[in-house]
Amino acid sequence: MSLQAVIARIAEIDAIVQPKPPAPTSAPNGFLAALSGVEHGSALPATPGTGASGALSAAQSQVGVSEQPPGSNDGPQIAQYRTATAGSGVGPWCAYFVSWAAAQAGTPLGEAGQGFGSVSALYDWAQRTGRATPAGSGVQPNPGDLIVWGGRHIGIVESVDADGSIHTIEGNSSNAVSRRTYGPDGGGATGYVRLG
């Protein structure tokens, strides 16, 4: 591969990993800056789309990211998830994760885009703003919707099978970003949140 081809490829990767909002910074090494926030062994996030599909793409790019050390609620990439949430600290991080994924897609959560560290606060906001759909209402979730279990846990719907089985991606699930599958009831889900 020629030097020009390598430089062109680095420019392509730099364009992929650079966050879209806000406006570009004056840092000359966006590629190296983006790499500094990625855990060893985790994939670089693909350029997400916008809205629900973009949040889902961002979440999919993180499957396998795990706590360092296990059980700590922390790690380099988990610290990145916290940056999408105002006033966040080390602790349970499933709401940080969905806040991060939504922000990556240009659809930040909260009235001021502040994200949420609390599942209850996130679902309360969704109910106030008409984004929440209670489970059992007959409305099937869509890929990219958030799935909520009371005030305890939240994830992102990846797909829904013809039989109603729901596939999710969840942060802080077995100390990692993990894929899970539930029956049509979403494993006792409380409701769903539409992004956008």
Is residue 86 predicted with pLDDT exceeding 70? yes
- 130 versus 20: which is more confidently predicted? 130
Mean pLDDT value across residues 132-157: 96
| Cα dihedral value 31, 108, 164, 119, nearest 10 | 110
- Residue 161 belongs to some domain of the structure: yes
Is residue 181 predicted with pLDDT exceeding 60? yes
- Residue 103 belongs to some domain of the structure: yes
- Mean pLDDT (the chain) is 83
Per the structure, the count of domains in the chain is 1
SS (H, E, C) the chain: CCHHHHHHHHHHHHHHHCCCCCCCCCCCCHHHHHHHCCCCCCCCCCCCCCHHHHHHHHHHCCCCCECCCCCCCCCHHHHHHHCCCCCCCCCCCHHHHHHHHHHHCCCCCCCCCCCCCCHHHHHHHHHHCCCEEECCCCCCCCCCCEEEECCCEEEEEEEECCCCCEEEEEEEECCEEEEEEECCCCCCCCEEECCC
Is residue 30 predicted with pLDDT exceeding 50? no
Mean pLDDT value across residues 124-146: 95
- Residue 24 belongs to some domain of the structure: no
The tens digit of pLDDT for each residue in 32-68 reads 333 334 343 344 444 457 889 999 999 999 999 999 9
Alpha-carbon distance of 189 to 119, in angstroms, equals 13
- Residue 8 belongs to some domain of the structure: no
Predicted confidence at residue 50, as pLDDT, reads: 80
- 10 versus 64: which is more confidently predicted? 64
- Residue 163 belongs to some domain of the structure: yes
- Residue 55 belongs to some domain of the structure: yes
- Residue 9 belongs to some domain of the structure: no
Instruction: Report the predicted TM-score, pTM, of the whole model to 2 decimal places.
Output: 0.76
Is residue 152 predicted with pLDDT exceeding 70? yes
Residue range(s) defining the domain that contains residue 108: 37-193
Mean pLDDT value across residues 129-154: 96
Mean pLDDT value across residues 169-176: 97
Minimum mean pLDDT range among 37-51, 75-89, 124-138: 37-51
Alpha-carbon distance of 77 to 119, in angstroms, equals 20
Predicted confidence at residue 118, as pLDDT, reads: 96
Predicted confidence at residue 48, as pLDDT, reads: 56
- Residue 68 belongs to some domain of the structure: yes
